[in-house]
Amino acid sequence: MAMDTQLVRRDPEDGRPARHEPAISPVRHAERDLRPVPAAEIVAQPRRDALGTASGIVGLAVKLTFLAILLALFVGLLGLIGVGGRTTASVGDRVGAAFQQGVNTIGGAVQQARDAFDPAHPPRVALAQDTEIDELFRPGVGQEIAGSATRTVALASVQRRDSAESPDTAVYATLKTELRTAEETKILGMTVRSSRDPRDQHLYRGETFRLGNRLYKVNWVSVERQQMAITAYREQDRVTAPVKFAID
């Protein structure tokens, strides 16, 4: 077992012991080194969360905006003193452009920060919206298309044009319509003429027509399939496209 010893310091003048200093044993010195470090001395590492990141982005955007304004002022001053080989815009225009660019940058950074907390946010770019449809029909050649109360409407043929100017006008469909009840001309009670008034209607891709009380649009026409696809508009009151023909 380690024993404590004492060190005696003597005064060089009279040789008498000046004071006694206790000597620290190696074991106690080791125990002193192994003392726990106080919690105050532990440096906590800052935790970077989404809010801190967003704040950093906004701060960076503000700094970039300030630098852009300074650059615009510098270029404007160069233009005023005639430095450069071409005419520069006015200082006010450049400052305004830089300010607007800075506002857009800050607005974009703020929007990105908000979107980070809202994963279900709507798209931030404009989307091309198609016409809303209610039904899709794909009649083949010889198949009747319902919708008219007075006439039958059937797909008679699908043909190709050799001198077409665009793919949309290269193929067209022909609809054949007839009266459901023949028109008769009588003289003295005798039928001298009977006709179903046959007619042909030609349709190209993208055209709109009406059967009964419904509006339809030609979606595609295929020579290989001998088919056409027509869609019924969902909200007919909002249709502004011209109607090629109407059959009641």
What phi, psi does 52 have (nearest 5°)? -65, -40
CA–CA distance from 216 to each of 141, 152, 232, 246 (Å)?
18, 16, 5, 10
Q: Which tens digits make up the pLDDT trace of 158-193?
A: 999 988 889 889 999 999 999 999 988 888 888 888
Cα–Cα distance for residue pair 178/196, rounded to 1 Å: 5
What pLDDT score does 229 carry?
A: 97
pTM, full prediction: 0.55
Intervals of the chain under pLDDT 70: 1-51, 54, 73, 75-92, 94-96, 98-99, 102
Its sign, for the CA torsion 81, 85, 86, 88, is negative
Q: Calculate the CA 196 to chain-centre distance.
A: 54
